[in-house]
Amino acid sequence: MLLSQLFTKTRKEALKDEVAKNAQLLIRAGFIHKEMAGVYAYLPLGLRVLSKIENIIREELNSVGGQEMLMTALQKKELWEKTNRWDDKVVDDWFKTTLKNGTELRLAFTHEEPLTNIMTNFVSSYKDLPIYAYQFQTKFRNELRAKSGIMRGREFLMKDLYDFSRSKEEHEKFYEKMKEVYMTIFKRLGIGDQTYLTMSSGGSFSKYSFEFQTITDAGEDTILYDEKTGVAVNKDDDSEDIFADFGIDRSSLDLKEARSVEVGDIYSLGEKYSKALGLTYKNEDGKEQYVYMGSYGLGLGRLMGTIVEALSDEKGIVWPGSVAPFTYHLLCLSKESRIKNQADKIYDQLRGKNIEVLYDDRDVSVGVKFADADLIGIPKQMIVSEKTLEKGTEAIEIKNRKDGTTTQGNVGDIEL
Amino acid sequence: MLLSQLFTKTRKEALKDEVAKNAQLLIRAGFIHKEMAGVYAYLPLGLRVLSKIENIIREELNSVGGQEMLMTALQKKELWEKTNRWDDKVVDDWFKTTLKNGTELRLAFTHEEPLTNIMTNFVSSYKDLPIYAYQFQTKFRNELRAKSGIMRGREFLMKDLYDFSRSKEEHEKFYEKMKEVYMTIFKRLGIGDQTYLTMSSGGSFSKYSFEFQTITDAGEDTILYDEKTGVAVNKDDDSEDIFADFGIDRSSLDLKEARSVEVGDIYSLGEKYSKALGLTYKNEDGKEQYVYMGSYGLGLGRLMGTIVEALSDEKGIVWPGSVAPFTYHLLCLSKESRIKNQADKIYDQLRGKNIEVLYDDRDVSVGVKFADADLIGIPKQMIVSEKTLEKGTEAIEIKNRKDGTTTQGNVGDIEL
């Protein structure tokens, strides 16, 4: 894409009312627009990143048998009363609305109830299970404060997967598999090194539970982690006991402390929802059983914000190649027509190969081009200049956004 | 995909409270789930269709320079007061909600205001224009009644594109181009033959306007149309004058009357929003001008529902190949293991070629398999049977869902 055609522009100053680094950088670079606190629109560059994150997650979930669907934001009372979650005292962040006829509705903050209800239409026998269903869907949470940019939104895109299993054992097997799937996702998103499967205190159905925590100063949590073994614990739950219960000798670890953000959660739900909503199946002996469930969430904005927080530097964003809005940021360092023509040709050549390239074709100074490229954060800057043209019409220089190192290359050798 | 793995099942009876044919069929075939009137979840088969519709639209909009983004559902008062659309007397289908601190918010039914406001950050010179920005985003409309299935939802996915032009002339050139883009989209969606660019009474900025109407008994409108010339008029606006104003001699046409549904709308917005929200640019003479706008909507659920209404028969849905959830529905007509093994092999062969195939591997009767295949509506049924196996291990029969005709083929010849 030609940068001159992209409708967004970079800006030098952050918004005055924006305190989160991730949102400051993303707004300055033209990836997002702040509609109100905790509510952000994704502009073309931002949506490209969001879609790439979505596709990585989709590929990994499909690889373990996930079936994608799309549920609704509008929710009616009946289902949520059955699990006692309609009550404001139980759930304090509902957004409420009403139909013209006065019927009270709410905007979904999660989807256990509607999905469990949907499954009652399709599950009757042990042969129908297990089922792994997921969606990418907009969630609404009426947060009292929203100061973390796109890392904690009032309206945000979330992947939520639910497993419907025949037994605790079948559920736990999938739960263990999802631990690996999540780590694969975080690795592919470029935050694998900073992300720890972290022991924490239990949910409703287990003594302990697990969260995925990514080390970043912007996080709201604190973890203790051992780089060598990858073992980590939420500081709030640190004790000899929790380590011992997992068969780990705490004193053998070299634990460091760091601020971190919870980038993913995986929960055992047990039979809570299947009991409340009547989701049963007949087992091989014809006996009626409750379905055993789990839920697995990933906030896409939170992931994108975490990547920005964890990998940016003083010049701007540094995207991992897997989620960068484009593979290359093409910069022509001269206004001379023979060099500009050469850059145009290279741009056409790359497009012909279906390589994603953002070409800064603007009539601005080299300094402005580099400053914008560094702010936008595409990991590979492809440079065409008098110097490269001297080496041949196919010569280019690739500058690594992260560390500024350069390599010489040939545009003909660039592969998709 | 193996049909035995798909979590949905077909059902014989429609829901009692569902009056729309499109929703009845889609629920029976397992494409959608009714959450409440006008609010439907898309199950795996339904989401596949929806995504294919979305991708066709995306390709066509990108081909004319559309830039994709994603705005928010939550809306605050300030922007909408400037255009007088916050007022219930002006817009009667808002869904309303409030933040914890009491701030009144609403759920977007359209996005002229927020997008025009976003553009004020990026547009200053004539060089920044024109801009064509679009999104696929969930709209909320608090309809008093919602009886048309997925054709008129309270919550629905919509493509809305907006043009930001330097002048009426520049806008009109794009407006004309969008007429063609829309017809291309309807053709690719399989409803081109039934869809007419229909003259109707004007909007706020023109004497006349245009709508795209697809002929189906489920429609809420009536059009008069001439098959030969493709000329059509909304019956409400039929007059000698409207034809004359478009240079057409009404008496030369062979006008037929039919019920129809509005599948797309294209509006000139003039300077209404740019004036109200202060979106201006400096022209080549340095003079401040208002941006001239237009909007172009397509409801994805409405398109999917219209396809179902227009193309289904007494046996079920008949998808056009372009949006069918799978390219082939593979049916094995025997329980004999040598024939079943053969079908398994063919399934693997097709998957190896990345051909989308739904394989009915269930242990049910041939009658049930055909009834389900006809209801689900994949346009090509691929049959493996004793008869085909006699002809060779690669032999198959393709049955056309629409007219029941069959052709003999060879699985090796099937191309993506």
Ranges of each domain in chain A: 21-311, 328-413
pLDDT of B203 reads: 67
Distance from CA of B283 to the nearest CA of A (A): 17
pLDDT of A205 reads: 65
Cα–Cα distance measured from residue A346 to residue A350, given in angstroms and rounded to the nearest whole number: 6
Return the C-alpha torsion angle A77, A83, A87, A90, nearest 10.
-150
Taking a C-beta distance cutoff of 8 angstroms, is the pair A242, A269 a contact?
Answer: no
Low-confidence residues in chain A, pLDDT < 70: 203-205, 416
pLDDT digits over B116-152, tens only? 999 999 999 999 999 999 999 999 999 998 999 999 9
- Of the pLDDT bands very low, low, confident and very high (cuts 50, 70, 90), residue B15 is confident
Tell me the chain B residues in contact with residue A97 when contact means C-beta distances shorter than 8 Å. 95-97, 107
pLDDT of A204 reads: 63
Is the pLDDT at B86 greater than 90, yes or no? yes
- Of the pLDDT bands very low, low, confident and very high (cuts 50, 70, 90), residue B54 is very high
Taking a C-beta distance cutoff of 8 angstroms, is the pair A237, A200 a contact?
Answer: yes
Test A35 with B9 for CB contact under 8 angstroms. no
DSSP assigned state of A106: E
Distances (CA, A) of A168 to A130, A160, A174: 12, 20, 10
pLDDT of B205 reads: 66
pLDDT of B206 reads: 73
Q: Mean per-residue pLDDT for B167-178? A: 98
Look at strands B67-68 and B131-140 and give their pairing: parallel
CB atoms within 10 A of CB A318: 21
Test A73 with B155 for CB contact under 8 angstroms. yes
Measure CB to CB from residue B122 to each of A7, A41, A72 and give the nearest one.
A7
Test B69 with A43 for CB contact under 8 angstroms. yes
Task: Give the residue, A146 or B160, on which the prediction is more confident.
Answer: B160
Q: Which residue of A has its CA nearest to B28?
A: A121
CB atoms within 10 A of CB A413: 8
From the centroid of its chain, how far is CA A177?
19
Q: Which CATH number fits domain B328-413: 3.40.605.10, 3.30.2010.10, 3.40.50.800, 3.30.2130.30?
A: 3.40.50.800
Question: If 0-12 CB within 10 Å is exposed, 13-18 middle and 19+ buried, where does residue A125 land?
Answer: exposed
DSSP assigned state of B207: S
CB atoms within 10 A of CB B266: 24
**CATH homologous superfamily, domain A21-311:** Bira Bifunctional Protein; Domain 2 (3.30.930.10)
Tell me the chain B residues in contact with residue A75 when contact means C-beta distances shorter than 8 Å. 35
CB atoms within 10 A of CB A9: 15
Task: Give the residue, B112 or B17, on which the prediction is more confident.
Answer: B112
Distance from CA of B396 to the nearest CA of A (A): 28
A 8-27 → B contacts, CB under 8 A: 8-9, 11
The closest alpha carbon to A66, from B47, B84, B81, belongs to: B47
From the centroid of its chain, how far is CA A204?
26
Test A72 with B41 for CB contact under 8 angstroms. yes
Cα–Cα distance measured from residue B54 to residue B399, given in angstroms and rounded to the nearest whole number: 28
Three-state DSSP class for B348?
A: helix
Phi and psi, residue B198, nearest 5°? -115, 130
ipTM: 0.97
Q: Mean per-residue pLDDT for B238-262? A: 93
Taking the Cβ of residue A120 and every Cβ of chain B, the question of whether any pair is shorter than 8 Å is answered with no
Test B7 with A70 for CB contact under 8 angstroms. no
Cα–Cα distance measured from residue B93 to residue B117, given in angstroms and rounded to the nearest whole number: 22
Tell me the chain A residues in contact with residue B160 when contact means C-beta distances shorter than 8 Å. none
Q: Mean per-residue pLDDT for B210-226? A: 95
Tell me the chain A residues in contact with residue B33 when contact means C-beta distances shorter than 8 Å. 118, 121
Taking the Cβ of residue A142 and every Cβ of chain B, the question of whether any pair is shorter than 8 Å is answered with yes
Q: Mean per-residue pLDDT for B387-408? A: 94
Tell me the chain A residues in contact with residue B35 when contact means C-beta distances shorter than 8 Å. 71-72, 74-76, 114
Taking a C-beta distance cutoff of 8 angstroms, is the pair A59, A22 a contact?
Answer: no
Q: Which residue of B has its CA nearest to A34?
A: B118
Cα–Cα distance measured from residue B92 to residue A98, given in angstroms and rounded to the nearest whole number: 13
Answer yes or no: pTM beyond 0.80.
Answer: yes
Q: What percent of chain B has pLDDT over 90?
A: 92
